[in-house]
Structure 1
Amino acid sequence: MTVRTIRVPRPPHRPVGTALLHALDGSHPWGTASSSLSRYGAVHETVTILPPDTTPARRRWVSALHAAPPAALMLTLVLGCVGIGVAVPWHAAFGAPAALGAAAWLVCWREASPATRSAVQTTAWCSALVVDAEADAAVRRVRRIVHRLQRAEDGVRAGLLPASALQEEWRDAYELVGRLERLVR
């Protein structure tokens, strides 16, 4: 009987700092999109697009800004409970981590604010109970914007499109949503 050893390549080791940066990169470089469907058929679509010249470091600050409140809350609860377990007064056990979390959020807010102030956002919703052609068209428009951005992003990640294609699509979407935003005001 012959036994062969097969070597399976390991995935590349990613240092903790690199993994954290990868997590903070967010799901899309251009911003965020959300879609919800209610129990009675109301569709709610939102897209937020960061300025096309936003640096990767600034986008990470924007992601950290969104992650900071739940992370600070969890940190406060865990450290507070541990502090109480080792006989630290409750106000110090919960107050110090809460102050630290608030300070971290303020740093994230300060660093992310140039991108978040310049970001554009549009929201559309329609209901299955009330037929409204204008609302349906608005929802389709938001979906089309998101689809075009995601298609360009996927093409760049797959190597089928140059990075300039995503930048061009991103710039077009940013300008379009900016015009829509001004129309609503």
Structure 2
Amino acid sequence: MRSGLSIQGHQPTSPAGWAIIVDSLRRADVQLLSPQEVQHALQAGTQCVVDVRLPAEFEAGHVSGTVNVPFFRPISGWDAVRVLRRLAFALFGIRTGTEINPLFVEEVSRVAADSSKGIILMCNIGGVIEHSGSFKVGTQSRSLTAAHVLVESGKFGSIKVLKGGVNGWAASERPIEEM
């Protein structure tokens, strides 16, 4: 089932789609930042830090000072494709399936009014775009796929991603805020 995002005709999670994403991120010089580097950016207030997770994940625990702009949203509508997507998710025990948030770029543009200062994205795991273990082109994540969408929009200059994501942030014993 399609998520609503096509990477040159490929699913973003397919090997071909992921290779295209990684190539795009490398060409755009998307940087992966450590929790310490992100903490410094938050303290300096020089960059917009966007958590791309679903609102429920954000509310359960997030990095203080971040803004939630979900890359995915719960499936909306009841056409045949969306009903099939819901059924596919249900087969895997997932009660609420998701699809790409079609307003993602627009919503990030609103919260990052001065995008010249840069944007830092985060999700649960962060992902990597370098060779890692048995993965020749890194490991996928929502924040890296979201970074690709922002790069391709051409509206943003400096895009960075929190390496290790919110899970890595918490593992490094940095504070997590709950709503």
Q: Which of the pair is proportionally richer in helix?
A: 1
Q: Which has the larger radius of gyration?
A: 1
TM-score computed with the length of structure 1 as normaliser: 0.25
TM-score computed with the length of structure 2 as normaliser: 0.26
Does 1 or 2 have the higher relative contact order (CA < 8 Å, sep 6+)?
Answer: 2
